C-alpha cells in the first residue's frame, strides 16, 4: 500500500478505520437493505422515475479559461459539477473528486448522464497540486479523468486502499498519499486531514468496502475548509468540529438522498445540522445539479437547503457551475435553478 502520512492528528483519537474480515466498516452501525428491498429500489430507479429528476431546460454554466484561473485571487472556489470543486490556494490549484466523464458509470454507453458540461475541460485546467478523493464510487472517482490528470497533478490524496486503485491504473506510486481517518499530511504549507464519514465503497460486485471512505479537513493558515465527500449524518461531525472547527467554508453533500438509504446519505435537514456541528461559517451545498442519482426532483436539494438555511439565518452560497466564490469576499449567489425549469411543479414529500 503506497502511503505517506502522519499520525500526529490521531494520537488522542481511537477512531481510526476498522476492518472486519478484510472489509472496512463504519463505527456507527448502518442498517443494510435486504436483497428484496435492494432489488425493489433498483426496479423503481429504473422504471418508475419521476419526470422531474432531470432538468428540462439547460443548466447555466459560467465557462472558465486557463487564463482566468491563473489571474484569479487566492481562496477562490469553483464548483465544476457534482462533488468536483476546484480551489485556488497559495497560488496553486487543488481539486476534489474530479469527474469529467459524460456518465457516472462503469461504462459510457449507459448510466446516469450529466445535466451539463464542466465549465472547463481537463486540457484547459492549470497544473493541479493535489487531487483530494473521498471514496471510490463512480460519481466521485472516474478512471479516465484520473488518467488524464495524472501528468499534470503532483499528488493524489486518498483514503486507505483508494490509492492502490490509482497505482493499478498507472498513477506513479510516489504521487499517491493514502491516509487513515485522523491522519494528516502537508502539501505546500496546507494541512490535509482525512476525517471520518459514514458511507461505503466498491466499484463492482465483489469489492464492497475493500477501500476506505473519508471526509477532508483543509487548513490554509487561518482559513479552514471542510469537504464532506459522501456521508450519512452521524456524531463524527461534532468531533471534527470540536477538533478542527470553526470552518470558514463547508462543502457539504446535499443531494441524491432517499428515505431508503438514510445511513449513507443525508437529508437536507441533516446537512444543515452537520454544518452547525462543524461550526461552519458558510455552507456551499454539493453533490447535486449534475447527475440523476435518486428519486427526488433535481432542484429539490437546492430548494430545501436554501429554505432551511434562511430559517436558521445560516450563510449559504449557491454559485452557478463555474461561478467563483471567494473566502475573503463571500457572496450568496442566487437561486439559478428556478430559472431552468420555471414551470416545474415543486417537489413534495411524495417525490421521495
**Residue keyed to cell 422531474:** 52
- On whether the CB atoms of residues 32 and 205 are closer than 8 A, the answer is no
Identify whether 246 is preceded by a cis peptide bond (ω within 30 of 0): yes
Alpha carbon dihedral 297, 298, 302, 305, in 10-degree steps, equals: 50
Position 206 in a domain: yes
- pLDDT for the residue 276: 98
Q: Is residue 306 part of a domain?
A: yes
Q: 336 — phi, psi (to 5°)?
A: -65, -30
Residue 3 lies in a domain: no
Q: Identify the DSSP state of 159.
A: E
pLDDT in the model for residue 48: 66
Question: Which residue has cell 510516489?
Answer: 174
Q: What is the CATH number of the domain that holds 85?
A: 3.60.15.10
**What is the domain count for the chain?**
1
Residue-number span of the structural domain to which 120 is assigned: 76-342
What's the predicted TM-score (pTM) here?
0.92
Per-residue model confidence as pLDDT tens for the chain (352 residues): 444 545 544 444 446 788 888 899 998 877 765 545 555 666 566 666 888 999 999 999 999 999 999 999 999 999 999 999 999 999 999 999 999 999 999 999 988 999 999 999 999 999 999 999 999 999 999 999 999 999 999 999 999 999 999 999 999 999 999 999 999 999 999 999 999 999 999 999 889 999 999 999 999 999 999 999 999 999 999 999 999 999 999 999 999 999 988 899 999 999 999 999 999 999 999 999 999 999 999 999 999 999 999 999 999 999 999 999 999 999 999 999 999 986 444 433 323 2
Q: Please tell me the predicted confidence (pLDDT) of residue 10.
A: 44
Instruction: Answer yes or no: are the C-beta atoms of 211 and 165 closer than 8 Å.
Output: yes
Q: Is residue 57 part of a domain?
A: no
CA–CA separation, 277 and 279 (whole Å): 5
Contact status, residue 257 vs residue 347, Cβ threshold 8 Å = no
pLDDT the model gives residue 33:
58
Which residue is listed with cell 474480515? 21
Q: Is 7 a domain residue?
A: no
Place of cell 459524460: 102
pLDDT for 17 equals 84
**Crossing angle, helix 236-244 and helix 268-277, to 10 degrees?**
30
In a domain, 62, yes or no: no
Please name which of 290, 317, 325, 321 lies closest in space to residue 64, comparing C-alpha atoms.
321
CA-to-CA distance for 151 and 153, rounded, in angstroms?
Answer: 6
- Bridge partners (DSSP) of residue 225 are 218, 249
Query: Does residue 200 sit within a domain?
Result: yes
Burial class (CB in 10 A: 0-12, 13-18, 19+), 48: exposed
> Is 1 among the domain residues?
no
Q: What is the pLDDT of residue 126?
A: 98
Amino acid at each position: 500500500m503506497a502511503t505517506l502520512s502522519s499520525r500526529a492528528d490521531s494520537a488522542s483519537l481511537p477512531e481510526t478505520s476498522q476492518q472486519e474480515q478484510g472489509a472496512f466498516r463504519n463505527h456507527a452501525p448502518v442498517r443494510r437493505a435486504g436483497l428484496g428491498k435492494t432489488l425493489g429500489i433498483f426496479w423503481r430507479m429504473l422504471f418508475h422515475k419521476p419526470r422531474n429528476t432531470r432538468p428540462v431546460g439547460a443548466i447555466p454554466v459560467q465557462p472558465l479559461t486557463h487564463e482566468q484561473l491563473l489571474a484569479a485571487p487566492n481562496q477562490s472556489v469553483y464548483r465544476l459539477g457534482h462533488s468536483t470543486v476546484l480551489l485556488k490556494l497559495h497560488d496553486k490549484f487543488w481539486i476534489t473528486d474530479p469527474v469529467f466523464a459524460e456518465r457516472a458509470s462503469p461504462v459510457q454507453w449507459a448510466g446516469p448522464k450529466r445535466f451539463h458540461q464542466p465549465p472547463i475541460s481537463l486540457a484547459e485546467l492549470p497544473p493541479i497540486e493535489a487531487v483530494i478523493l473521498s471514496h471510490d464510487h463512480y460519481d466521485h472517482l472516474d478512471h479516465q479523468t484520473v488518467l488524464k490528470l495524472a501528468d499534470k497533478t503532483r499528488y493524489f490524496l486518498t483514503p486507505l486502499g483508494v490509492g492502490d486503485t490509482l497505482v493499478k491504473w498507472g498513477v506513479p506510486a510516489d504521487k499517491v498519499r493514502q491516509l487513515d481517518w485522523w491522519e494528516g499530511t502537508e502539501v505546500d504549507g496546507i494541512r490535509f486531514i482525512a476525517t471520518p464519514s459514514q458511507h461505503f465503497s466498491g466499484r463492482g460486485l465483489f469489492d464492497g468496502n475493500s477501500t476506505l471512505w473519508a471526509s477532508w479537513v483543509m487548513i490554509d493558515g487561518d482559513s479552514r475548509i471542510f469537504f464532506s465527500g459522501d456521508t450519512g449524518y452521524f456524531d463524527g461531525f461534532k468531533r471534527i468540529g470540536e477538533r478542527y472547527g470553526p470552518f470558514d467554508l463547508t462543502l457539504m453533500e446535499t443531494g441524491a438522498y432517499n428515505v431508503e438509504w438514510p445511513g449513507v446519505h443525508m437529508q437536507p435537514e441533516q446537512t444543515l445540522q452537520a454544518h452547525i456541528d462543524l461550526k461552519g461559517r458558510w455552507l456551499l451545498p454539493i453533490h447535486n445539479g449534475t447527475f440523476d442519482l435518486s428519486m427526488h426532483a433535481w432542484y429539490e436539494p437546492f430548494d430545501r437547503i436554501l429554505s432551511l438555511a434562511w430559517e436558521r439565518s445560516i450563510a449559504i452560497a449557491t454559485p452557478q457551475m463555474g461561478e467563483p466564490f471567494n473566502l475573503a469576499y463571500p457572496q450568496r449567489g442566487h437561486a439559478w435553478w428556478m430559472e431552468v425549469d420555471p414551470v416545474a411543479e415543486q417537489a413534495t414529500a411524495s417525490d421521495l
